[in-house]
Each structure stands twice: as structure tokens, then as C-alpha cells.
Structure 1
Amino acid sequence: MGNHSQVTVASCLKVLVCLCIFVQSLVNGQDIDPLVNVTYIKGGVAKGAVCLDGSPGAYYFGQGFEDGIDNWIVYLPGGAWCYSEENCLSRSKYNNNTGTTKYAAPKSFTTFLSQNRIINPDFYNWNRVLIRYCDGASFMADVEAVDPVTKLYRRGRRIFASVLEELITTKAMGNAANALLIGDSAGGLATILNCDRFHSFLPDACRVKCVSDAGFFIRGKDLPGAFDHAMDYFSEVVKYHKLAEYLPKSCTQRLAPELCFFPENVVNDIKTPLFLLNSDFDTYQIYILVAPNSPTDEGWNCTKTFASLVNCTPDQLHVIMDFRTAFLKTLQGLDDNPSRGLFITSCYIHSISGYPHNWQGSPTLQNKTVQQAIGDWYFERNIVQFIDYQHRHPIYCNGI
């Protein structure tokens, strides 16, 4: 009897330990989703829905379940842009998943695509789609001509459309009740620029909205001399990929095309409800686009991470603070739209949803996490227009 009791207690303890480990993994936001295989667009090459190197566009799909079976979330990942023949050619040959699908391996969904109900409470059981970013122009280009020497294709717009068309015809996406387009960084910009277009594919859905994470790149006209690189960079992207024709005409009819690659000039014209998730201390914009000297200059390495800020000079810290002022001023220059959601943190970060390790340390504003705030906004439980005015300096967010 005693031995049986010991075995029973040991078994119970073992179960309890396993349960604690499982619960802790949920609390920590660890990825427990199974691997998802890549799906290549059917007839992608024939349709011209191809990456920079001519490989077919692709996506990852996870089936929805329970009451999420008729709801859809489509994710556009980041990865910056390419802006010249040489730059795009290098991108197309480099195994970094941003110019080709030749090396597309199975992957697990995370953050807003996760099936983990604790870290993704409102969207965990939706149909989930991640479209591979491999065109270098935020899914905006559609150039028919192919360079006979480099064999480079600029067809991201076709990839975006072909994936949605395939999901509508083969996965019943056309019956969607609710749909959400979300992206981070270059994918966040893509989300802004493609938001109304996404809605047009789902005219019968009850609720269609968009979330841009770290996609609100500012021109920084209130930062004298600091944003020449950003303007030049975006101008080269727009010119090389011939985006003028596809950028919102409501903007290009009044401004030069390169200015219409900056969200501040197109957000007011977007009819579909849009949520802006961003930091007013956006590390990518500060380190890559704002720093007066070249980012390769080791003197500006101090701006790369929160921990490295201690190495910055007073002048460099002043530039960082000037960025926040310019960012908030740009944001405040937008029309007052009650359907627009805002979650502007002061964490010293770039994207939140694009990097799984960031999710555990999701910042809070008004006692709401990013997940809770976006869920409240999407389902119209509350108006969500949160801006961190409390912190005037960059802050460190746990896990980020």
C-alpha cells in the first residue's frame, strides 16, 4: 500500500511539474504552434507572381477552427527594401528570404498568428496566412519588363493579389466574416499602402481592418538635415520599382510620388479602419534613417539598442529626442479619425509583432497590452488611441 501511495504521489508530482512547465510556456509566450509548410502560388511563374529572382511567390497557411473558422488574418513581414539593380540583385541571391522563395522552410506562427490563446486571445483560432516578402518594394511593384541581364523581376503587387485570389477560390476566404491585414516594418508600410486594396478583395465581409506595426515612417521635415537619407532612400525605391502608378492616386495627384511612400501623406485618405502600432523612439528610423552620419559610422552605433545608449554623446541623445518630437508632431498632423487606432509606445524598439522575443515584453498603455488594445479596437469594445506622453526619454521594455 505504501509503495502504491509513493508511486501515486510521484505520478501526481510528475503531472504537476509538466503542467507547470506547460503553463509557464504559455505565460512566457513561447511558441508552441506546429511547423507550417510553405505553399507556392499555383501557377505563380505563369502568372508572373514571382520574387526578385523569378521564383514563385509563396505563403504559409494555418486553418482556422471553432468560432474562428470564417475569420482571417493575413500577415506581411518586414525586411526593408532594395533600391537599385545592384542592391536588388544582391538581395535576390542572398539566402535571407527577402528576395527568393528557393529556401522557404517550414515555420511556426508567432504573435498575432499564434494559436496560443493566452498571448493571442482574440485571433488565436482564425485562419492565419503569412505572405512571404520577396519583392523588395512592400508588395507594391508590378513591372512587366524583365531585365535581360540580371533577370530581376519586380512583381510584389502580383504576389499579394495572387495569394488572396488563391485563398478566395481554394480556402473559402471569400466567405470571410472578419478579416485583418497586419504587417511589421516594410510589411507595416505595405499594410498601409494596401489596406483599401485588401478590403476590395473581401467586399462582403462584415468587418475588415488593418494594423501597421512599425510602418509609420516619417519624412521628418521638422528634423533639419537629419532626414536626407530617408528621403533619398525612399525616392530611389519608388523610382527603381516604378511605383508612381500604384501609389494612392489621392496622394500622387497632389504630391511627388516619392512623398507618397511616406505614410503621413496617405493615411488620411485610407477608408478602411487602420491601427498604427509604433514607437516614438523607433530604433530603425533613428539608427538607419535619422542619424546625420552614415549608419556604418561606428560613432552612431550607440543608437542601435537601448543598452548602447549609454555610449551616446549629448548631441546624439539630442537627435534621438528630436526624432520623438518630430514623430509625435507628424502623428498629430493627421486628421482626427475616430475609427483609427493608436498605440504609440516609448520603448526603444522597432517592430513588436515581427519579433517573437518582443511579444513576451509587450508594453502596456492605460493598463492594456498591445494584444488587448488591438482586440478592443478591432471588435469596437473601446476607442483605442493611446500615446505615451508620460515618458519623455526612451524606456526599456521587458523582453525586448
Structure 2
Amino acid sequence: MKQVVTIVAVITALITCTLSASNYRLLVDMTLVHSADALGAYCLDGSLPAYHIHRGFGAGSSNWLLQFEGGGWCTDIESCAERAQTRRGSTSLMNKLETFSGILSNNTSRNPDFYNWNRVKLRYCDGGSFAGDSNFDNGTLLLYFRGQRIWQAIIEDLLPKGLGSANKALLSGCSAGGLASYLHCNNFSSYLPDTTAIKCLGDAGFFMDSPDISMLHTQRTIFQQLVTLQGIENNLDENCKNSMSDPKQCIFPQYLLKYITPPLFILNSAYDVYQFHHILVPPSADPNGHWNRCKLNPSACSPEQISLLHAFRVDMLTAVRSFLMNSTRGGVFINSCFAHCQSESQDTWFALDSPLLLNETIAESVGDWYFSRNVSKKVDCRYPCDTTCHNLIGAA
């Protein structure tokens, strides 16, 4: 009888351990950058910037992954004042513990290539993709647009913590943070030794300068307002600006792309949910809601709507064509899933049912590219051919 009880206890313990492992969440504490005050690097509301760091170990202890947090933009004083009173504009209002999953996971079975690196999540509180450098002060309202200084303050805080002697480094980001990874890729390399293998990954940050369904350039207007309000133009790439009749356009990755010098990986959906809802069919272009059902469920789209979505996909592929054809060090994973941000979610990064292209997950493709194991340029067929998609239509 005692032996039976012991066996039952062992089995129960094994089941408990298995369930605990499957439900395990890595929660990482916030680090405030106290030295940011000397640089005038503040969030919208004047609070100090912050990041979360989980230390690497073993063979990855000298390697660094920096991930920009995303979260849209504010393009006028009213929206920025509102944002300053939320977690998107103040570290005082943010959760102090952040879940690290996907590319930030420390589990080799969930993040096979970067699990043991030093992994850092840069919190987003400036509303301008870490690129602005101005402020607004009318005597009663003070807003700081200091994203560029926040970026500098965090980097300078991390350099003596080991980043300054990194063996390998990857700058990444999602959504507005994905845009930041494009904007700061060149600058990132200026902080690190020539011996560091530096590469950049933009996840869902390839925002297109394309007309909406009413043939207006809604996203262009939004970005122009953003650049003007937050003083971003001075921080855009000089070579790109010299090549454009309107230097503000260099905030779009499609124009900046050829001037980014470190190896770059483009991770995007050709039917990115944010771009579908806000660039191709912004509310202003569909006042009567003809696209509402299509936005909620792509299978409910009419043939005409699907045709416009396919045309938007062609625009994106045209914008990256030269990169696809000519870049010898670049990587691409453009799938046909209705999703937005696929590197931080475990389901889409690396799991049993993750999206696949040529039988590879996103994590495997990024790893092949970073470590030069294989050529990693993959473009999906048109919707609805991909049966591996997670159509996260609610992500926008």
C-alpha cells in the first residue's frame, strides 16, 4: 500500500511540474534610468524612462537583444496630453513587471536562438517611436517629446552593464517599436565596438506610404504631423533626407531602407492588421462602415475588398523588391496572416502551431538569418492560401 501511495505521489508531482512549466511566465522588473535627468530624457509627462532587463547566461552572456516596445503615436497636443495620463506616456502608470515571451523568452524550447542572451525591453512613453526631441509648454501644460534622448539615456545606462562589450547584438521592436528599430539601426552601431556583430529586426514596423481606399495619403499626413510636432526631422537619416524632396518622408521604412547599413530583417504581414485598419481603410475613408464586417473577419470580405487587399500586398512587395533582390545580408519573412506583431507572442514566434513559410517558423527564419545558417528570404502566397496563419484580426 505504501508503495502505491508513493507512486501516486510521484505521478502527481510530475503532472504538477508539467502543468507549471506549460503555464510558466517570466516576469521581469522595471529599471528606471535615473541618469536620464541629466540628458533631459523624459516621458511625455516628465517621468523618467525605463526598461526591463533579464540577464543572459552561459554562451549567451555576452550577447544582447534590445526590443523597442510599441503602442502607436500621438500627433497633436490634445492626443499627447491624453496619452501623458496613461501608461503610454508615463512610466509612473506602467506595470512594474513585464512578461517576457516569444523573442524575449528565456526558455530554449520557446526561443531556441536568443533564450540565453541579455534581453532588454525598452518601455515606450514618448509617443514618437523614440525619435523626437522637442517639448510643448504653454505655461499650464508641459509635454516632453524626448524619444531620441530616451533612446540615448537607455543605451548609455546599458553600456557599462555589458552592452559596451557585446559580442553579438540585435536591435528589434514591434509596431511603433518596429519603426524605431528601422530609425535607430544605424545609430545603434555607433555605440558599439567594431567587433560586435550588429543586426536589426523590424517586426510589423514597415508602415507603408500608400493611398487609402479614397486615394488619400492618410498615413503620410499622420507621419508628417508626428515629425513636425515632435521635432523628429533632425533625427532622420541624413542620406535619406538629401535624396527626398520632402525630408519628412524618411520616417517611412520604404524610403529609409537602402540607407540602413547593418544587416536587417523585415518581419511583416502583407495584410498587417494595423495597416489594413488605419492605412488602407482608415475610419475617415469608410464613414458608412462598408468595411466593418471585412475588418472583423477576412472571410466576410467581398471580392472587391479582397482585390484591394491584394493590391496593398503588391504595394508592400514592390517597396521591398530591391531589398529582396539585392541585399546579400538581409532577411525577410512576409506572410499573409491578418496579424500585427509576431515576434513577442509565443504562439506566432515559436510554437507547435506557429505560422510557417517553407516549413520554418518565424523564430527559425530569424535565427537562420542572424547566424548565417541559411538564406532567409521568404514571401508568402496571397490570402487565403496559408493554412498556418493565426489571423489575429482583433490585434489592431
User: CA–CA distance in 1 between the matches of 2:216 and 2:344?
Assistant: 25
After superposition, the Cα gap between the structure-2 partners of 1:69 and 1:137, relative to the gap in structure 1 and judged at 3 Å, is same
Using the TM superposition, give the Cα deviation of residue 310 of structure 1 relative to its aligned residue in structure 2, in angstroms: 3.6
Q: What is aligned with 1:36?
A: 28
Q: Does 1:248 align with 2:237?
A: yes
Using the TM superposition, give the Cα deviation of residue 354 of structure 1 relative to its aligned residue in structure 2, in angstroms: 3.9
What SS is found at the alignment partner of 2:84? helix
Specify every segment of 5 or more residues in structure 1 that has no aligned partner in the other structure, as ranges. Answer: none
Q: Does 1:328 align with 2:320?
A: no
Amino acid in structure 2 at the alignment position of 1:309: P
What SS is found at the alignment partner of 2:143? coil
Amino acid in structure 2 at the alignment position of 1:67: A
Q: What is aligned with 2:306?
A: 317
User: CA–CA distance in 2 between the matches of 1:69 and 1:292?
Assistant: 44
Between stretches 357-366 and 252-261, larger displacement belongs to 357-366
Amino acid in structure 1 at the alignment position of 2:131: M
Amino acid in structure 2 at the alignment position of 1:381: R
Amino acid in structure 2 at the alignment position of 1:6: V
What SS is found at the alignment partner of 2:220? helix
| 1:160-187 CA distance string (max 9 Å, x none) | 1111101112x12211101111101110
Contact 1:287 1:303 in 2 (8 A): no
RMSD: 2.2
Q: What is aligned with 2:373?
A: 381
Using the TM superposition, give the Cα deviation of residue 331 of structure 1 relative to its aligned residue in structure 2, in angstroms: 1.7
Between stretches 191-200 and 3-12, larger displacement belongs to 3-12
User: CA–CA distance in 1 between the matches of 2:188 and 2:225?
Assistant: 26
Q: What is aligned with 1:180?
A: 170
Amino acid in structure 2 at the alignment position of 1:75: Q
User: CA–CA distance in 1 between the matches of 2:279 and 2:320?
Assistant: 18
User: Identity of paired residues, percent?
Assistant: 36
Amino acid in structure 2 at the alignment position of 1:59: Y
Contact 1:282 1:348 in 2 (8 A): yes
Q: Which of 122, 129, 135 pairs up with 2:120? A: 129
TM-score by length of 2: 0.91
Q: Does 1:210 align with 2:200?
A: yes
Contact 2:51 2:120 in 1 (8 A): yes
Contact 1:238 1:257 in 2 (8 A): no
- Mapping of 1:259-270 within 5 angstroms? 259-270=249-260
Contact 2:337 2:391 in 1 (8 A): no
What SS is found at the alignment partner of 1:353? coil
Using the TM superposition, give the Cα deviation of residue 302 of structure 1 relative to its aligned residue in structure 2, in angstroms: 2.7
- Mapping of 1:98-177 within 5 angstroms? 98-104=88-94, 105-143=96-134, 146-169=137-160, 171-177=161-167
After superposition, the Cα gap between the structure-2 partners of 1:146 and 1:39, relative to the gap in structure 1 and judged at 3 Å, is farther
| 1:227-260 CA distance string (max 9 Å, x none) | 5211111111111112111111111112112211
TM-score by length of 1: 0.90
Using the TM superposition, give the Cα deviation of residue 316 of structure 1 relative to its aligned residue in structure 2, in angstroms: 2.6
User: CA–CA distance in 1 between the matches of 2:194 and 2:313?
Assistant: 40
Q: Does 1:228 align with 2:203?
A: no
User: CA–CA distance in 1 between the matches of 2:108 and 2:271?
Assistant: 30
Amino acid in structure 2 at the alignment position of 1:320: L
Q: What is aligned with 2:290?
A: 299
Using the TM superposition, give the Cα deviation of residue 396 of structure 1 relative to its aligned residue in structure 2, in angstroms: 6.4
What SS is found at the alignment partner of 1:54? coil
Amino acid in structure 2 at the alignment position of 1:127: N
Q: What is aligned with 1:353?
A: 343
| 1:301-340 CA distance string (max 9 Å, x none) | 23434xx224433333332222112111222144611101
Using the TM superposition, give the Cα deviation of residue 132 of structure 1 relative to its aligned residue in structure 2, in angstroms: 0.7
Using the TM superposition, give the Cα deviation of residue 392 of structure 1 relative to its aligned residue in structure 2, in angstroms: 5.9
Amino acid in structure 1 at the alignment position of 2:301: C
Contact 1:72 1:173 in 2 (8 A): yes
User: CA–CA distance in 1 between the matches of 2:34 and 2:25?
Assistant: 29
Amino acid in structure 1 at the alignment position of 2:4: Q
Q: What is aligned with 1:56?
A: 48
Using the TM superposition, give the Cα deviation of residue 87 of structure 1 relative to its aligned residue in structure 2, in angstroms: 1.3
Q: Which of 69, 88, 98 pairs up with 1:77? A: 69
| 1:77-105 CA distance string (max 9 Å, x none) | 11111111111111111x2x211111232
Contact 1:283 1:303 in 2 (8 A): no
